[in-house]
With several copies, the nearest count.
Chain A
């Protein structure tokens, strides 16, 4: 295992300290329990938005804390959902009197821990609305399974809910909007290499030099199927076909298209993927009106990418364009 770390079990804490030192004016960090809130939290009269999940997906979520996006983030251990006490403390820290929205990726652990936190918040009289994201089409959705995973759309939901909260919309409204974003969004990812959690020290799966894994999750979970390494155009075809057919997206749709790197993929490759995605969608009459290319929701040092589409309307576009001022996503500010 080759990592720029000091000790496997100090990774999350030390990275948090690094973030706090790097953004002293923008973020406030608590260590026990661990959470990050924007420096001016709580914002009176504004719905608070928190998210959280295992670490190892940076910049998600801590990098999205700031005006126009999240009020707070709860980092768990690497690839491990945070705990209810973190979420509860963050919820209290960001509640400006208008309630708090929890944006939760659909994983058993995340959902259960956030459920317990919402129960606790309810007991303390803080109205909490929960938005569960489950956009990963690689996983079959069924009542009898854990359901689809929450992946790339989470970032976009955080941005759009954040913009709505800045407009002082109600906690119910903001959550409703988050659910709409989730409903209009779909994702799928792939890997060229696995990743290694600091605590296990071993790659999460083993891929041959000439293989790639399609449909991976963001926790080093193996994917839907494995196949021989192929050109970027084929990779995009695999991912984008599954994404487009699932909703489905159709001719005339305007979309936000995110090409996301899994952490170990250089930007030059992501632009090639974006080029392929653009061609793929254009062929189907789907127009990208808002692009986002970069590393936003990662899996440690995994090489690979994911594609997320969100069907846009005027409202979603306006909220996407609204100013945002976070370490990892910033415009208009």
Chain B
């Protein structure tokens, strides 16, 4: 699917569909790893939860027409909310719902549009979950990604490259959760014993950004 023209300044509906499919594929592929990470400091269901949800999202996509990126992201958010459960359901659901609200009616997104969308999603996640950076959650992957997007936007970077930079920042953010002591979510029950483990939600959030980078990259 050539949804992005080389060095394109914008992504379209098809590119966002490709992003979501790519994310679903990454989750499927890393399901066991996410379960293992969540077993170490949680209850071992993060991979299963996200996989169940992304399958539902992809089912919905199969019937998705039109060019409204906002509607697409909202539909994904609704599917996640009603199929994932656990902490990830409301959090990823809200992330997508808020990205959808921020992009309502848009047929294309440039770097600024993508930045606004992810920032709105992050704000939604923080409003819902009350986590701050450093609490060892998905927020720790999303915050650097949003920051990287802002930098890319002021530097006039095209959206495909911006997504790549955001993914790289999210990866750093994900790795930075390893030495953290969890203060939110199930891992917080472990207190100091949560140190030394990578947060599963930060890991899936990195996969989300990596999927964007891959879907928006020149083909």
Contacts and interface: CB of A to CB of B under 8 A. Distances in A.
A109 B42 contact: no
B85 A113 contact: yes
Contacts of B84: 83
A116 B90 contact: yes
Nearest to A85: B82
A251 interface: no
Given A77-B85, A221-B189, 10 more contacts: A81-B86, A82-B85, A83-B84, A85-B82, A107-B186, A109-B89, A112-B87, A197-B43, A197-B45, A217-B186
**What secondary structure prevails in chain B residues at the interface with A?**
helix
Contacts of A205: 39
Contacts of B190: 221-222
A108 interface: yes
A187 to B, nearest CB: 14
Contacts of A78: 45
A188 to B, nearest CB: 13
A268 B129 CA distance: 31
B99 interface: no
Contact of B43 (A79, A145, A202): A79
A217 B189 contact: yes
> What are the 3 closest A-B residue pairs judged by CB atoms, nearest first?
A112-B90, A109-B86, A109-B87
B142 to A, nearest CB: 16
Contacts of B43: 79-80, 197, 204, 219-221
Interface in A54-71: 54
Contact of A202 (B39, B86, B91): B39
A109 B188 CA distance: 13
A84 B81 contact: yes
B49 interface: yes
A200 B45 contact: yes
A112 B185 CA distance: 11
A200 B90 contact: no
Nearest to A82: B85
B44 A197 contact: yes
B193 A222 contact: yes
